[in-house]
């Protein structure tokens, strides 16, 4: 096979993502939190599955990503890994497991890799968590950075509005992105920042830049599975494209089942022993 031919059966690795950026092939990334959905998403050909700490919102019903624990993230990642053969599986490091404590960060990342078998971790932040990222990288654990809107800092921001619209914050984001590349991160997520800024970062870095609400000038896109499948319809930011209306499909299916049980239509003669 020539080096320019895309092989959709080959296992995705961090090196392969770099190759994809080099040949201009966009990277598709989506969240998953359990075995069954991970299997469907992997079979559809996803490049990267993110076990996001958005599990705190969409799986556990919390208002923010802050409450989810390391044990809970490991549980989700372990389930996702069992359903995945091709995609690279990246697990978010939850709030409180890496900030201001490089040794604790390393211990948490090692637990994720050892207990869940995830293949990389994602961490929110720039210069302020540099030592934690370096410590994790030293252990041979691939790290994906995350800049822009970093939901674990919602109490500092006070809002989920677009970040880095002003010059100072944009300059810091550019500097942080270069720093993350220099210390050895294999990719970066840019969340909810102006498209022009994201495009500039993607063009200046050699590692892949994956956007969410960061426009089309980056190397790939990530969405939260429940949002793009229309399971969670209460969240409708401008950047979100819905690919299905599963909440309606599920509501209709469940309503039909209830109706069939109540009317004794289910089970019928062929549905019993
Ligand atoms: O937790 C998550 O789902 C994420 C994505 C929004 C990038 O971090």
pLDDT average, residue stretch 224-237: 94
Residues 6+ apart with CB under 8 A from 112: 70, 73, 74, 77, 91, 93, 118, 121
pLDDT of residue 17: 98
| Residue-wise pLDDT tens digits, 8-32 | 789 999 999 999 999 999 999 999 9
Looking at the DSSP bridge assignments, the partners of residue 223 are 30
Query: Quick one: tokens of 5?
Result: 């031919």
pLDDT band at 176 (very low <50, low <70, confident <90, very high): very high
Closest CA to 144 of 89, 100, 62, 192: 89
> Is 171 a catalytic site residue?
no
pLDDT band at 233 (very low <50, low <70, confident <90, very high): confident
pLDDT of residue 9: 81
- For the CA of 53, the nearest atom of ligand 1: 1
Q: Is 227 left (phi over 0), alpha (psi -120 to 50) or beta?
A: alpha
| Residue-wise pLDDT tens digits, 26-68 | 999 999 999 999 999 999 999 999 999 999 999 999 999 999 9
Query: Quick one: tokens of 89?
Result: 């599986």
Query: For residue 135, how far is its CA from the centre of ligand 1 (angstroms)?
Result: 23
pLDDT of residue 258: 98
DSSP secondary structure letter of residue 112: I
Query: Looking at 191, 204, 259, 271, which residue is catalytic?
Result: 191
Pocket flag, ligand 1, residue 92 (CB < 6 Å)? yes
pLDDT average, residue stretch 153-172: 97
pLDDT band at 232 (very low <50, low <70, confident <90, very high): confident
pLDDT of residue 1: 41
Task: Round the average pLDDT of the chain to a whole number and report it.
Answer: 96
Dihedral sign, Cα of residue 185, residue 187, residue 190, residue 195 = positive
Helix (H, G, I), strand (E, B) or coil at 4: coil
| Residue-wise pLDDT tens digits, 91-149 | 999 999 999 999 999 999 999 999 999 999 999 999 999 999 999 999 999 999 999 99
Query: For residue 269, how far is its CA from the centre of ligand 1 (angstroms)?
Result: 47
**Does residue 7 have a pLDDT over 70?**
no
Pocket flag, ligand 1, residue 129 (CB < 6 Å)? no
Pocket flag, ligand 1, residue 31 (CB < 6 Å)? yes
Query: Quick one: tokens of 55?
Result: 């599990």
pLDDT of residue 51: 99
Closest CA to 72 of 48, 106, 96: 96
**Does residue 6 have a pLDDT over 70?**
no
Residues 6+ apart with CB under 8 A from 19: none
| Mutate-to-test residue for ligand 1 from 189, 198, 208, 218, highest number of ligand atoms within 8 A of CB | 189
Query: Which residue CA neighbors atom 8 of ligand 1 most closely?
Result: 52
Beta strands in 52-204 (DSSP E): 88-92, 120-124, 143-148, 187-191
Pocket flag, ligand 1, residue 189 (CB < 6 Å)? yes
**Does residue 4 have a pLDDT over 70?**
no
What percent of the chain is modeled with pLDDT above 90? Answer: 95
| Mutate-to-test residue for ligand 1 from 224, 225, 239, highest number of ligand atoms within 8 A of CB | 224
CA dist 254 and 205 (Å) reads 48
């Amino acid at each position: 096979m020539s080096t320019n031919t895309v092989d959709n059966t080959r296992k995705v690795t961090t090196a392969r993502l770099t190759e994809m950026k080099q040949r201009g092939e966009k990277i598709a990334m989506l969240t998953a939190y359990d075995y069954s959905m991970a299997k469907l998403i992997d079979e559809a050909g996803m490049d990267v599955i993110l076990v996001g700490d958005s599990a705190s919102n969409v799986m556990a019903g919390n208002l923010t990503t802050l409450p989810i624990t390391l044990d809970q993230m490991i549980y989700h990642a372990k389930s996702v890994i069992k359903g995945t053969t091709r995609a690279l599986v990246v697990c978010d490091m939850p709030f409180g497991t890496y900030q201001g404590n490089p040794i604790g960060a390393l211990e948490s990342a090692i637990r994720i890799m050892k207990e869940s078998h995830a293949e990389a971790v994602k961490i929110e932040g720039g210069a302020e968590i540099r030592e934690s990222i370096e410590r994790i990288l030293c252990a041979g654990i691939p790290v994906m950075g995350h800049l822009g809107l970093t939901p674990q800092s919602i109490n500092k921001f006070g809002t989920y509005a677009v970040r880095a619209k002003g010059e100072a914050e944009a300059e810091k984001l550019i500097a942080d992105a270069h720093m993350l590349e220099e210390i050895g991160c294999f990719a970066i997520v840019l969340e909810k920042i102006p498209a022009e800024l994201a495009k500039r970062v993607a063009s200046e870095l050699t590692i892949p830049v994956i956007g969410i609400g960061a426009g089309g000038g980056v190397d790939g896109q990530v969405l939260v599975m429940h949002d793009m499948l229309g399971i969670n319809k209460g969240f409708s930011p401008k950047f979100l494209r819905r690919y299905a209306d599963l909440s309606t499909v599920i509501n209709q299916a469940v309503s039909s089942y209830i109706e069939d049980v109540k009317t004794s239509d289910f089970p019928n003669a062929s549905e019993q022993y």
